[in-house]
């Protein structure tokens, strides 16, 4: 019942992830980070089978890092998302596929004007670019709010307000405490990280 | 010459620290027809000398210009059969990259990949190096229009204007003299033809003796084009560098 949310704003992308690690009836940890940075201007949030998630995220992270070091060139978020999609599409056709769903938010700084984008990718290898996205149960509660309040020209502050709205609804409706949301803000300057949404 | 004991082996240094097979490959290229590339803000022009060996040869065929993908063309100097292998490798790599990352391969990444392959043949035994130099002309979002050359040793470098093949130092001098920073694509075409006309063995510049390729932007889209002989003919006439097509006259006679 992890929560991962992404919202694309006018010149940035927000990625919010729940901080709880749960196993069976227990909450094991309340400060988990379900994101990895894929480069200086992109981050990936992930949910799914525990173990698979971190393994896959760090595999992708290491491969993209290797590429950028070898070529002295960082891939665009679109290229990264395509790469991740391809990895998952290959994986699902293997004996033991990764059961991981991800969101990738990034800013393409090689474009004439930096372009932000958000990609929703599931374990089957579906890749879609979206203005706002969520995986899992959180999607049921958050998407209706986002459908109602989202505008493409929201700024960072308004985006945070919208996330807080989502957080309130999720806290009310989700059956267990997900221990708050960790937030990453990605723009042309890089990736900023906030330990908790309520501190913003 | 102290090369005798070492020059038959690709992969070992001579006592003076030279790799003779690589040097011989470079030497082979310096006898090949000249290829020239000129970069401008509006695009890139590549031109090459075709060494016509017989008037019976079909001369409409292009032998030195290859499209690698939708945003990159290359001109060859050296062994054409060797070039074919590398061109195929480059095309496969470009499409693999596109399939994997859903965006065209950056030019330098493609050039780097080909040079890694070329380098391999200077180090691993039993094989000879690729006897080809390339001039690559391409476009990507990172650096815009770009011009590179690579040689059999596996080194590559980026240029504003460059040449490979026979008389390349003479061509380079001419390019250095006449190149301007704000050159237009039209001026680049003229420059390329002018330099080629001066460095070629034959004094006559005809459509049958040269090949031309361009990479440019049209309506925001990148266009790669290998010119047809008729188009080259029109360009030669337009620029006033055209000379009588002697061979055709001979054929009529």
- Looking at the partner chain, which of B101, B106, B112 has a beta carbon nearest the beta carbon of A82? B101
> Domain limits at A24?
3-199
Residue holding tokens 């991981």? A100
Assigned CATH for B33-245: 3.60.20.10
Q: Which residues of B174-194 are buried (b: 16+ CB within 10 A; e: fewer)?
A: bbeeebeeebebebbbbbbbb
Looking at the predicted structure, is the pLDDT value of residue B245 above 60? Answer: no
Q: Give the global pTM.
A: 0.84
How far is the alpha carbon of B110 from chain A, nearest alpha carbon, in Å?
10
Q: Structural domain tally of chain A?
A: 1
**How do the pLDDT tens digits run along chain A, 200 residues long?**
799 999 999 999 999 999 999 999 999 999 999 999 999 999 999 999 999 999 999 999 999 999 999 998 999 999 999 999 999 999 999 999 999 999 999 999 988 899 999 999 999 999 999 999 999 888 999 999 999 999 999 999 999 999 999 999 999 999 989 999 999 999 999 999 999 998 88
- Looking at the partner chain, which of A78, A86, A111 has a beta carbon nearest the beta carbon of B100? A86
Smallest Cα–Cα separation from A188: which of A117, A132, A115, A81? Answer: A115
Residue holding tokens 């195929």? B88
Looking at the predicted structure, is the pLDDT value of residue B243 above 80? Answer: no
Q: Which residue of chain A comes nearest to B107, CA vs CA?
A: A71
Looking at the predicted structure, is the pLDDT value of residue B220 above 50? Answer: yes
Per the CB < 8 A criterion, the answer to whether A127 and A120 are in contact is yes
Q: For A133-149, write each residue's pLDDT tens digit.
A: 999 888 999 999 999 99
Mean pLDDT of B77-92: 95
The Cα–Cα gap between B115 and B124 comes to: 14
Instruction: State the DSSP code for B215.
Output: E
The Cα–Cα gap between A11 and B164 comes to: 46
Whether the CB of A144 is below 8 Å from some CB of chain B: the reply is no
How far is the alpha carbon of A112 from chain B, nearest alpha carbon, in Å?
8
Tell me the domain boundaries of chain B.
33-245
Whether the CB of B112 is below 8 Å from some CB of chain A: the reply is yes
The token duo for B92 is: 């496969």
Mean pLDDT of B18-28: 88
The predicted structure's pLDDT at residue A112: 84
- B249 burial via Cβ count (<10 Å: 0-12, 13-18, 19+): exposed
The predicted structure's pLDDT at residue B89: 97
Counting runs of H as helices and runs of E as strands, what totals does chain A give?
A: 4, 12
Q: Is the ipTM of this complex over 0.85?
A: no
The token duo for A100 is: 């991981």
Q: For B104-148, write each residue's pLDDT tens digit.
A: 999 999 999 999 999 998 888 667 899 999 999 999 998 999 999
- What stretch of H or E contains B249? helix B246-252
The token duo for B60 is: 């409409």
**For residue B235, how far is the Cα from the chain centroid?**
20
Report the CATH number at residue A129: 3.60.20.10
What is the four-CA torsion angle of A101, A103, A108, A113, rounded to 10 degrees? 140
């Amino acid at each position: 019942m992890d929560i991962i949310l992404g919202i694309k704003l006018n010149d940035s992308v927000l990625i919010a992830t729940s901080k709880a690690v749960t196993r069976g009836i227990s909450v094991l940890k309340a400060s988990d980070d379900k994101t990895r940075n894929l480069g200086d201007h992109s981050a990936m949030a992930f949910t799914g089978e525990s173990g698979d998630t971190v393994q896959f995220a760090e595999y992708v992270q290491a491969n993209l890092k290797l590429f950028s070091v070898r070529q002295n060139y960082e891939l665009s978020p679109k290229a990264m998302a395509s790469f991740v999609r391809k990895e998952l599409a290959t994986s699902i056709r293997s004996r033991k596929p990764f059961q991981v769903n991800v969101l990738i938010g990034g800013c393409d700084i090689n474009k004439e004007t930096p372009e932000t984008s958000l990609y929703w990718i599931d374990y089957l290898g579906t890749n879609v670019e979206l203005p706002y996205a969520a995986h899992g149960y959180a999607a049921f509660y958050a998407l209706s709010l986002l459908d109602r309040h989202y505008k493409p020209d929201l700024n960072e502050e308004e985006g945070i307000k919208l996330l807080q709205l989502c957080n309130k609804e999720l806290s009310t409706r989700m059956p267990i405490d997900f221990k708050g949301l960790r937030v990453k803000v990605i723009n042309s300057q890089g990736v900023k990280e906030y330990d908790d949404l309520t501190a913003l | 010459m102290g090369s005798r004991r070492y020059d038959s082996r690709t992969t070992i240094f001579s006592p003076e620290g030279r790799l003779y097979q690589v040097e011989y490959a470079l030497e082979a290229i310096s006898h090949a027809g000249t290829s020239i590339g000129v970069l401008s803000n509006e695009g890139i022009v590549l031109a090459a000398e075709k060494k016509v060996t017989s008037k019976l040869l079909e001369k409409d065929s292009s032998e030195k210009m290859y499209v690698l993908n939708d945003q990159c063309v290359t001109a060859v100097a050296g062994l054409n059969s060797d070039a074919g292998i590398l061109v195929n490798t480059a095309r496969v790599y470009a499409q693999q990259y596109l399939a994997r990352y859903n965006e065209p391969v950056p030019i330098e990444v493609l050039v780097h990949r080909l040079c890694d392959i070329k380098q391999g043949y200077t180090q691993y035994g039993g094989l000879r190096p690729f006897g080809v130099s390339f001039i690559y002309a391409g476009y990507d979002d990172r650096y815009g229009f770009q011009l590179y050359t690579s040689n059999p040793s596996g080194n590559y470098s980026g240029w504003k204007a460059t040449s490979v093949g026979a008389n390349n130092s003479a061509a380079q001098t001419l390019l250095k003299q006449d190149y301007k920073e704000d050159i237009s694509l039209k001026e680049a075409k003229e420059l390329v033809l002018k330099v080629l006309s001066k460095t070629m063995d034959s004094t006559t510049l005809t459509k049958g003796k040269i090949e031309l390729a361009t990479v440019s932007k049209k309506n925001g889209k990148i266009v790669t084009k290998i010119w047809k002989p008729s188009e080259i003919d029109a360009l030669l006439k337009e620029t006033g560098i055209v000379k009588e097509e002697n061979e055709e006259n001979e054929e009529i006679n």
